[in-house]
Structure 1
Amino acid sequence: MDLRQFLTALRTRWRFSLLTFVAGTIATIAIVFTMTPQYGSSVKMFVSTPTGGQAEYGAAFIVTQRVASYADLAKDPSLLQDVIDELGLDMTFEELSGKISAEVVTSTQTIQINVKADTPELAQQIAEEEATQLVALVQRLEKPAAGNEAAAITARVAADPSFSDDPVAPNVPLSIGLGVLVSLFLAIAGALLRHLLDRTVKSRDDIEKLTGTPALATLPFEPQVKKNPVASDTDVSLAEAFRVLRTNLQFASLDESVRSILVSSAVPNEGKTLVATNLALSMVQVGKSVLLIDADMRNPNVATRLGLENSVGVVSVLLGRTTLEGAIQPHSNGISFLGTGPKPPNPAELLGTQAMRQLLRDASQQFDLVIIDAPPMLPVADASILVTEVDGALLLTRYGSTTREQLRLAITRLEGVGGRLIGTVLNRTPRRSGDTYGYGYGYGYGYGPDAENQKADRKAARALAKEARRESGGRRASR
Structure 2
Amino acid sequence: MRQFLGILRARRKFVVVTLGLGALLTTGVILAIAPTYSSTSTLYMSTPSTGVADTYPQSSTAGQRAQSYADLARGPEVLQRVSERVDAGLSVSDLADQVETSVVEKTLLLRVDATAGSPELARRIASVEAEEIIRLVENLETPSDEEIPAPIIALLADKASFNPNAVAPNLPLGLGVGLLLSLVVGVAGAVLRDLLDTSVKTSEDVESMTSNAVMATLPYDPVIKKQPLCIEDGGGALAEAFRVLRTNLQFSNLDATRQTILVTSAIPDEGKTFVAANLAIAMAKSGRSVLLVDADFRNPGVADLLGLENSVGTITVLLGRASLEQATQEHVSGVSFLATGPKPPNPSEVLDTRAMRDLMSTIRAEYDVVIFDAPPILPVADAAILLTEVDGALLLTRYGSTSREHLRQAVLRIETVGGRLFGTVLNRTPRKALDGYGYGYGYGYGSTPEPARPRTDRSETRVRDVRSGRRVKR
**How does the TM-score come out when normalised to structure 1?**
0.83
> Is residue 2:119 matched to residue 1:120?
yes
Q: In structure 2, what is the equivalent of residue 27 of structure 1?
A: 25
Q: In structure 1, what is the equivalent of residue 307 of structure 2?
A: 307
Counterpart contact for 1:218–1:436, Cα < 8 Å: no
- 2 CA distance for matches of 1:419 and 1:142? 102
Q: In structure 1, what is the equivalent of residue 105 of structure 2?
A: 106
Instruction: Report deviation, 1:428.
Output: 0.9
Instruction: Report deviation, 1:86.
Output: 3.2
Q: In structure 1, what is the equivalent of residue 34 of structure 2?
A: 36
Bigger proportion of residues as helix = 1
Tell me, what secondary structure is at the counterpart of 2:296? coil
Q: In structure 1, what is the equivalent of residue 467 of structure 2?
A: none
1:18 to 16, 19, 34: 16
- 2 CA distance for matches of 1:370 and 1:33? 68
Q: Which amino acid counterpart does residue 38 of structure 2 have in structure 1?
A: G
Tell me, what secondary structure is at the counterpart of 1:333? coil
Instruction: Report deviation, 1:413.
Output: 1.8
Query: Aligned runs of 1:454-473 on 2, under 5 Å?
Result: none
Tell me, what secondary structure is at the counterpart of 2:158? coil
Q: Deviations over 1:307-355 (max 9, x none)?
A: 1111122222223332222221111111111111111222222222222
Tell me, what secondary structure is at the counterpart of 1:389? coil
> Is residue 2:332 matched to residue 1:332?
yes
Q: In structure 2, what is the equivalent of residue 378 of structure 1?
A: 378
Q: In structure 2, what is the equivalent of residue 169 of structure 1?
A: 168
Counterpart contact for 1:220–1:437, Cα < 8 Å: no
Tell me, what secondary structure is at the counterpart of 2:167? strand
- 2 CA distance for matches of 1:143 and 1:405? 86
* Higher alpha-carbon deviation: 392-401 or 184-193: 184-193
- 2 CA distance for matches of 1:379 and 1:72? 76
Q: Which amino acid counterpart does residue 5 of structure 2 have in structure 1?
A: L
Q: Deviations over 1:154-211 (max 9, x none)?
A: 4343221001222223333333333333333333333222222222111112112212
Q: In structure 1, what is the equivalent of residue 201 of structure 2?
A: 202
Equivalences, count: 441
Q: In structure 2, what is the equivalent of residue 218 of structure 1?
A: 217
Q: Deviations over 1:277-322 (max 9, x none)?
A: 0000000000111111111122111111111111122222223332
Q: 1:284 to 1:140 in 2, by over 3 A?
A: farther
Q: In structure 2, what is the equivalent of residue 192 of structure 1?
A: 191
Tell me, what secondary structure is at the counterpart of 2:207? helix
Q: In structure 1, what is the equivalent of residue 226 of structure 2?
A: 227
- 1 CA distance for matches of 2:150 and 2:79? 24
Instruction: Report deviation, 1:69.
Output: 4.2
Counterpart contact for 1:200–1:399, Cα < 8 Å: yes
Instruction: Report deviation, 1:436.
Output: 7.3
Q: In structure 2, what is the equivalent of residue 387 of structure 1?
A: 387
Structure 2 regions of 5+ residues with no counterpart? 445-474
Two-structure CA RMSD over aligned residues (Å):
3.0
Identity of aligned residues (%): 51
Q: Which amino acid counterpart does residue 173 of structure 2 have in structure 1?
A: L
- 2 CA distance for matches of 1:193 and 1:66? 56
Instruction: Report deviation, 1:130.
Output: 2.5
Counterpart contact for 2:257–2:368, Cα < 8 Å: no
* Higher alpha-carbon deviation: 418-427 or 280-289: 418-427
Instruction: Report deviation, 1:45.
Output: 2.4
Tell me, what secondary structure is at the counterpart of 1:158? strand
Tell me, what secondary structure is at the counterpart of 1:168? coil
Q: Which amino acid counterpart does residue 118 of structure 1 have in structure 2?
A: G
Q: 1:291 to 1:48 in 2, by over 3 A?
A: same
Instruction: Report deviation, 1:24.
Output: 2.5
- 2 CA distance for matches of 1:141 and 1:352? 106
Structure 1 regions of 5+ residues with no counterpart? 439-445, 448-453, 458-479
Q: In structure 2, what is the equivalent of residue 345 of structure 1?
A: 345
Q: Which amino acid counterpart does residue 275 of structure 1 have in structure 2?
A: V
- 2 CA distance for matches of 1:359 and 1:74? 101
